[in-house]
Structures are given as C-alpha cells and as structure tokens.
C-alpha cells in the first residue's frame, strides 16, 4: 500500500515526478492534457525517456493518468460521445507511451435517459474505445517508430495501460455510483482490459459507510460479493465534505471531513486492501500533510502486527 497525490504537469509533463517527490508521494496521478480536454502536448520517444528517467531519479514506484472531466459516454449528443471515446483512447495511448500503469475515467451523466439505457450506452461506447485498437495497433506502433518514440511501453500490445472506471458520487444522474452498476459494466466488458478505481469520498456520498472498522468490513464484504476484489486496482483516498448518502462530490482533507480519521485507520487496517495504492485528490494547500497522516497510520498499523 503506497500513497501519493494528483500533481500538476504545468511547465512539462516530465516535471511531475519531481513535484510528486516534493510532497512525499510514493506514487502519483496526473492529467496528461488540460483537464477540460484541450490540445495535448505530443509525447515522443525523447519525452517518454525523460519522464521514465525522472520517475527513477525521484523514486516514484508507479503513476496513473486521469482522463479529462468532460467525458460523457452516455450523452445523446453524438459529438460529445465521439470526443469522449477519442479522449479515453488517446489517454490510453499516451499512458502506454509514458509507462502509466492505469488510466482512469469518469463515465458521464445519464441526464434524461433512464438508467438501463444509459448504462448500455456506456458499455457500447467503452467497447468502441478498445475495438479499433485490435485493427490499428500495428499501424500506430509503426507511426511511433517513425517519430522516434519508444514502443517498449506496450503501445503495440493493445494498450498496456489498463483502463479503470471510477465510482461516482451519484450527483444528479451521474453514472456508476452503485456497486451493482460497476458489476454490470465489468460483466459486459469482461473481454476487455478494464478494472475499477474506488474513491472514498464518492463511495461515502453514494451511501457506502466507511467511518469505522465494522462499517469498512461490511462495505468491502458487499463489494467483494457484488463486484469482486479482483477487479479493484486503485483507490482515490479523499475525505468528504458532505454526509453519508448526500450524493455530492466534495473532497476534504484527510481527517477533516465526515469520514474522519477513524475511517481512514479502518481502511488502511483492512487486510484485503493492502495490495492497493492510494491517491489523494485533495487541495494542494495541505495535500503533503494528508500524505504524512496516511503514512503515519500505515506505520502504526504495521507496527501493531509485529
């Protein structure tokens, strides 16, 4: 279990590992482009090699990419759906070039659609993210070689970077706030390279209680039964400004919100969660302190075992 945060790529994506190290990260997350989906800086072999060298220099074990916020795979607007598919596909390619372990995405909003129809749309559009890869992977790899890009990161393996669906907070008609929905997506996409990222603030806002050891155990018993822990790959570890089941996405610093320190001690103490790394998406003013708190809890849990 390693801890980190979302860090900025301002001034160059290759600067992210150093920024992560400065605030105590062991792993980190970035946007590979502007979070509202603007033009992305091209990633060639020189930039990819520099990024990898900086990962090693600053002792960062892994990193992850978050897709832009504008993704909506259930939009009735064909242009929005098409752009969402394109942005996820591009971030998977970019992640594969840079060596990201995971690329995670929000799924979007059903808006006026009924839940069943919206969920089916999400599945069909996620398939479109992957299906062209099988026929275009060789051409893409060849184009990278022509540009001098390093293909050893898996671009010619149908995206080595794994796509994760992030649980939502359930505000409005946002898709994917229930374990049952995640289970449906996993089942429908079982032939694709896809997993799940759980966000503690989103879970709590969606009605999954995490405030003490007993509640954490019950929540992950349900997740294991409904979805399966083998599909869980990563956590976003955030406290919540809103109460249980209030269905709003409002992150708070660790211990300052409604989940509280006891909840985070319970999460870190839950043995089933030890294999997973955890990323804070809290404000930059105290994110370094958040990481310190989490490491301190981890050290206390570890010392109690010996």
CB 255 within 8 A of CB 241: no
- Contact at 8 Å (CB) between 69 and 61? no
Provide the 3-class DSSP secondary structure of residue 277: strand
**Per-residue confidence (pLDDT) for residue 134, from 0 to 100:** 47
Residue 9, both tokens: 């790529």
**Tens-place pLDDT, residues 140-186:** 444 545 544 444 433 334 568 999 999 999 887 899 999 999 999 99
pTM, 2 dp: 0.90
CA distance 231 to 206: 20
Q: Which strand (E) or helix (H) includes residue 29? A: strand 27-30
DSSP 303: H
pLDDT for residue 135 is more than 60: no
User: What DSSP designation does 36 have?
Assistant: T
Residue 36, pLDDT score: 83
Among 90, 91, 71, which residue's Cα sits nearest to residue 81? 71
Confidence of residue 132 (pLDDT cuts 50, 70, 90): low
Q: Do you know the residue count of the chain? A: 306
CB 289 within 8 A of CB 283: no
Q: What percent of the chain has pLDDT over 70?
A: 91
Residue 104 tokens read as 């995670």
Question: Per the CATH hierarchy, to which homologous superfamily does domain 3-304 belong?
Answer: Divalent-metal-dependent TIM barrel enzymes (3.20.20.150)
Q: Which two tokens stand for residue 114?
A: 């009924």
Distance, in Å, from the CA atom of 234 to the CA atom of 273, rounded to the nearest integer, reads 10
Name residue, tokens 């990898």: 52
In whole numbers, what is the pLDDT of the chain averaged over residues?
91
Looking up tokens 């690329």 gives: 103
pLDDT band, residue 139 (cuts 50/70/90): very low
Which sequence spans correspond to the domains of the chain? 3-304
Give the integer Cα–Cα distance in Å for 121 and 178: 17
What confidence score (pLDDT) does residue 137 get? 44
Residue 289 has φ and ψ, to the nearest 5°, of -65, -40
110 three-state secondary structure? coil
CA distances from 5 to 27, 147, 282 (A): 7, 32, 8
Distance CA 98, CA 13 (A): 10
Residue of 160, 237, 225, 166 lying closest to 196 (CA atoms):
166
Helix %, strand %, coil % of the chain (to 5): 45, 15, 40
Q: 159 — alpha (psi -120 to 50), left (phi > 0) or beta?
A: left
């Amino acid at each position: 279990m390693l801890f980190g945060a979302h860090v900025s790529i301002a001034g160059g994506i290759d600067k992210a590992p150093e920024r992560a190290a400065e605030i105590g990260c062991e792993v980190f997350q970035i946007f590979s482009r502007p979070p509202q989906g603007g033009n992305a800086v091209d990633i060639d072999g020189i930039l990819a090699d520099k990024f990898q060298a900086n990962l090693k220099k600053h002792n960062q074990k892994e990193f992850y990419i978050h897709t832009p916020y504008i993704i909506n795979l259930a939009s009735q607007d064909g242009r929005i759906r098409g752009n969402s598919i394109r942005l996820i596909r591009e971030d998977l390619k970019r992640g594969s070039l840079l060596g990201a372990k995971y690329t995670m995405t929000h799924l979007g909003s059903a808006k006026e659609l009924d839940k069943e129809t919206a969920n089916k749309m999400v599945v069909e559009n996620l398939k479109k993210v992957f299906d062209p890869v099988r026929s275009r992977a060789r051409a893409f790899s060849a184009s990278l070689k022509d540009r001098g890009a390093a293909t050893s990161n898996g671009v010619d393996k149908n995206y080595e970077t794994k796509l994760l669906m992030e649980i939502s907070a359930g505000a409005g008609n946002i898709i994917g706030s229930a374990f049952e929905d995640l289970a449906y997506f996993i089942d429908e996409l079982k032939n694709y390279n896809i997993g799940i990222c759980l966000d503690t603030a989103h879970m709590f806002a969606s009605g999954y209680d995490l405030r003490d050891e007993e509640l954490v155990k019950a929540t992950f018993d349900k997740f294991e039964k409904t979805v399966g822990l083998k599909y869980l790959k990563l956590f976003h570890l955030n406290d919540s400004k809103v109460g249980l089941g209030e269905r709003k996405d409002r992150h708070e610093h660790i211990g300052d919100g409604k989940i509280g320190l006891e909840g985070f001690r319970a999460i870190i103490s839950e043995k089933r969660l030890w294999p997973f790394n955890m990323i804070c998406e809290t404000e930059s003013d105290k994110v370094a302190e958040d990481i310190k708190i989490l490491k301190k809890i981890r050290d206390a849990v570890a010392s109690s075992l010996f």
